[in-house]
Chain A
Amino acid sequence: MELNDFIEKFAEQFDETDASEFKADTEFKALDEWSSLSALSIIAMIDDEYDVTIKGDDIRNSETIEDLFNLVKSKA
């Protein structure tokens, strides 16, 4: 799995935040648009695209998009 591809799919879960704002080091929980609903969309995307079911703690323990990418990669 590719980091850039993951970032692109991550960005697709957001309606209001411009795709260009999503980078490997983006602290996603600090985004204005981030909410408990976006968290569910991210869990769904990861399950759907990578066949990995992450849990709440995985989101809580990740700061950047790359952190989450590495976590998913380790479970894939």
Chain B
Amino acid sequence: MAFLEIKNVRLAGVSAGVPSTILSNLDSQLSTEYEPEAFVKQVGVKERRYSEILTTSDLCYGAAEKLIADLGWDKSDIDGIIFVSQNADFFLPATACILQDRLGLSKECYASDLNLGCSGWVYGLSYAASLMTSGTIKKVLLMAGDAKRRTKQTLVDPIFGSAGTVTALEYDVNAKAMQFHFGTDGSGFDAIIIPDGGARNQMTVDSFHEELLDGKTLHRFQVRMKGMDVFSFGISTAPKTIKKLASNYGFEYQDADYFVFHQANMQMLGMIQKKLKIADEKMPTCMYEYGNTSSASIPLTIVTQLKGRFENKPTKFICCGFGVGLSWGTVALETNNVIVSDLVEMSDEEVDKKYVV
């Protein structure tokens, strides 16, 4: 069973970076099948942040500088970076290595990328926190998000927004244990997929050949999604993983103060909420203004919807990510004395200019 309990690690702070440019979904023809208004009403994304310049790592960098300053951390004390994204700056090297140098962290730094999307923040949290339980690695930055892709993908992609987040973790023997449940179903590998550009299907000129799929014109470097299957997966899997976690560790999931879900699709979230009987005020969402931001969606929801409401009192969270893989993860954690930075809005001029080839 994929349960995990991690002791001695506290969530110290959260920040999020987004491009300052807002794209409205009401302004463009999203699909040949439906009107933009119908999409906004049902999927729940009115607008999203977008940049043709800023990468996920740029947004994470801006969010990291802000959070490190707000926490008052000394950069030389940061022992590790985990960068969770499906849009690394380069095929190689790992983006976490670049971020170590760009942030001016010590070379005594554990740094690694993790390729997951919707479930990525929860997986990344377990990955980062696992490094810290013995107390030799004391401060780690978990960076998670997706932004600019490897190929242009503006109008065909009305659900996805750009964000890069940072979650600061700290060794603390008094921290309440984090409890996790994870799952994977690789039989759904092609439910959300970019078919070409990896080793399985190398990139060729034919990769740019466009096909009409469910009303959208897509080439083989662009994300394609089997919407119906992802929807079925989400509404059945998310409630089950939360119930399994609560049952395994013997707590009532209804006792949580906040349920923060991966922001997949509002209709899907509505179904999950109904199945778990969660009150509206316990289930913040940020889809309407930011869209689906992949592994950034849980911390981005905390930053944009909960700032000022929970930081300085004991607060129980249940956070659940589910999607591409197919992959899912849920964590129950209790926070106190957390720093939540103001949203960092970045202009295209803030793009990385040093790590350029």
Stretch in contact with the other chain, from B36-44, B136-144, B314-322, B334-342? B36-44
Please tell me if the beta carbons of A36 and B42 are within 8 angstroms of each other in the complex: no
Please tell me if the beta carbons of A36 and B271 are within 8 angstroms of each other in the complex: no
Cross-interface CB contact of A40 among B215, B231, B236, cutoff 8 Å: B231
For B39, the chain A residues whose CB sits under 8 A away are: 37
Instruction: Point out residues on A near B: beta carbons under 8 Å.
Output: 35-37, 39-41, 43-44, 47-48, 53-56, 59
For A48, the chain B residues whose CB sits under 8 A away are: 271, 274
**How many angstroms between the C-alpha atoms of A37 and B268 in the bound complex?**
12
Q: Could you show 20 A-B contacts with beta carbons less than 8 Å apart?
A: A35-B33, A36-B34, A36-B214, A36-B228, A37-B33, A37-B38, A37-B42, A40-B268, A41-B42, A43-B228, A44-B235, A44-B267, A47-B236, A48-B274, A54-B232, A55-B228, A55-B229, A56-B227, A56-B229, A59-B228
The majority secondary structure among interface residues of chain B is helix
Cross-interface CB contact of A37 among B43, B229, B236, B274, cutoff 8 Å: B43
- A-B contacts, CB under 8 A, total: 56
**How many angstroms between the C-alpha atoms of A48 and B231 in the bound complex?**
13
For A55, the chain B residues whose CB sits under 8 A away are: 228-229, 232
Cross-interface CB contact of A56 among B34, B38, B42, B228, cutoff 8 Å: B228
The majority secondary structure among interface residues of chain A is helix
Interface size (B, Cβ < 8 Å)? 22
The 5 lowest CB-CB distance pairs between A and B, nearest first, are: A56-B228, A35-B33, A56-B229, A35-B34, A53-B236
Minimal beta-carbon separation of B348 from chain A (angstroms): 33
Please tell me if the beta carbons of A40 and B267 are within 8 angstroms of each other in the complex: yes
Minimal beta-carbon separation of B46 from chain A (angstroms): 15
Given A41-B267, A44-B267, the answer on whether A35 and B232 have CB atoms closer than 8 Å is: no
The 0/1 profile, CB within 8 Å of A marked 1, for residues 248-278 of chain B is: 0000000000000000010110010010000
